[in-house]
Amino acid sequence: MRRGFTLVELAVALALLGVLALGLALLLGQMARGSQEAQEEAQMEADLQEVRARLTEDVLRSTAFTCTGAQAILTLPSGAVTYEVSGGRVLRQGQPLTELSGYGGAFSCSGPTLTLTLSRGSAALPPIRATRRVGLSVTSGSGLSQDQVPYQEGSGKLKGKKNVHDLAWRNESGQTLWLKGVRAIPPEWNEVEEIKFKRLNEDCESSSDPPGSFICAFESPQAWDNNDEFALDKIRFQKGVEGDPFTVQLEVCLDSACNQSQTLSYTFVCDKTSCALQ
């Protein structure tokens, strides 16, 4: 004869089943929270990497910067760039560099080094530090003008539509200058692939500020005597530049220590026979 379950046995079974269900629910909830936390942790690492990369690139190319708490303003050859921590995000020129929100922080400047101290929630994050390529206190706006460093008309030549040769400038300032670096900025939808000098040691690389540009910083400022010429051996573009304006910027110092410097900007249009200053 088969005996059924008693009410006590059913109650015990239901209680055990409830305990198992509760344990399973807690386990699944913990797993879901763990997965969400892992995804958030990965995104935070990506955020910090993006901020570090952009800030380091801009600081390397800066000639000066100022820090005012949650904001830093960097002076680049192409103009001022503003970083700030606002609305829980890190912004560059008003555009967010972080996907996550909830960030707080402040900028601090000390000599050639800029530091961004970040936090998220109650957790302090590793500080982000970047140092200018030339560790000197550089003051822009010395009064040097293009008239004192004129482009030598007719010196530039376009070869093969992509290569500009022998752009030359003369130091007519009445004193020795020091050339700190050169930047070439291409026409829109083009890129600079190479800048070549004669017998000079320089560190050249592509740049995203502005997009497609190319910058060369000399290992030490190059003395440029009064009435002497300085010439670029070649600028090579990815696409043809015949008839399209491009810009060359010279970073010039008034002393060998580069305590004072100024960016001189020259825009050219080249045809098959010459390059004219615009």
Domains of the chain: 44-131 (no CATH), 157-277 (2.60.40)
Task: Record the tokens describing residue 111, joined without a space.
Answer: 């000599």
Task: Record the tokens describing residue 137, joined without a space.
Answer: 């206190």
Instruction: Concatenate the DSSP letters of all residues of 110-149 into one string.
Output: ETTEEEEEEEETTEEPPPEEEE-SS-S--B------TTTS
The string of pLDDT tens digits covering residues 36-54 is: 777 888 888 888 888 888 8
The string of pLDDT tens digits covering residues 224-261 is: 898 999 889 999 999 999 988 888 989 888 887 777 77
Q: Token match 């070869």: residue?
A: 159
- The residue ranking higher by pLDDT, 148 or 110, is 148
Q: Tell me the C-alpha distance between 99 and 109, whole Å.
A: 26
Task: Record the tokens describing residue 71, joined without a space.
Answer: 């904001």
Three-state SS at 84: strand
H helix intervals, the chain:
7-61
The string of pLDDT tens digits covering residues 149-161 is: 888 887 888 888 8
Q: Tell me the C-alpha distance between 164 and 253, whole Å.
A: 25
Q: Tell me the C-alpha distance between 254 and 46, whole Å.
A: 42
Residue 75 predicted with pLDDT over 80: yes
pTM for the whole structure: 0.53
Residue 107 predicted with pLDDT over 90: yes
Element (H, E) at 95: strand 95-96
The string of pLDDT tens digits covering residues 127-139 is: 888 876 543 333 4
CA nearest neighbour of 186 among 103, 244, 120: 244
